[in-house]
Amino acid sequence: MTLHAWSLFAGAVFLLSGTPGPNMLHILSRSVEMGVKRCTAAMAGCLAALVTILAASAAGLTTLLLALPGSFEVLRYAGMAYLIFLGIKAWRSRVAPLDVGEAELPATPSILALFRGGFAVGISNPKAILFAAAFLPQFIDPALPKAPQFAVLVGTFAVIEMGWYAVYAWGGRSLSRHIARPAVKRAFNRASGVIFIGFGLALLKTRPS
């Protein structure tokens, strides 16, 4: 892989990763709800899912999966159902006044639960599988060993993606200062819910080429 090819890849990933999607919305909403420190577990989960998909693509597993009859449809509908579930959950999320007693506060998810939630959001998006299967091989020089090239591409993708996660997490932290009032927080939760449901319904149009 040439430096020119790598720079093109990095530029494309920078633009694509910054585009709002389920992962970024999940991180933003978690940051608003719990702060940046606890949000890092959700960020780690989303990133682990992305690296898993990219590594599977490098190993040729995503191409094999897409070749199996009906497999993509199962992934598509499972992803759609999960994103819609997250949307409904966000819409119905309980918003308590800031001065409620400790016994009335909703339970805070554990670090492991936050990680699992982030991983589930990232791994349930079949668009990521299509993207990895179609995008990564374009930057591989077939005349050179493939494993080191895939390692560079996956590592580059992970670093850029994590950078955008941090941007969205800190954006959520700043946003949380302006939505402390229950009515505003409820509006934010419902807007997040509608967007998650929109992401889920958009998967109906997703098809392998």
Average pLDDT of each block of 10 consecutive residues along the chain (209 residues)? 84 83 87 86 93 83 65 73 79 57 54 92 79 76 83 91 90 71 72 80 68
Res 105: pLDDT? 40
Separation CA 196–CA 58 (nearest Å): 29
Q: Are 31 and 173 in contact (CB under 8 A)?
A: yes
Alpha-carbon span 117 to 102, nearest angstrom: 25
| Structural element, H or E, at residue 191 | helix 182-202
pLDDT at 159: 93
Q: What is the pLDDT of residue 21?
A: 83
State phi, psi for 69 to the nearest 5 degrees. -60, 130
Q: What confidence score (pLDDT) does residue 41 get?
A: 93
pLDDT of residue 190: 79
Hey, what are 67's tokens? 């070749």
In Å, how far are 8, 94, 96, 115, 126 from 106, measured between CA atoms? 46, 8, 8, 19, 32
> Using CA atoms, how far apart are residues 116 and 42, in angstroms rounded to an integer?
7
Residue type, 78: A
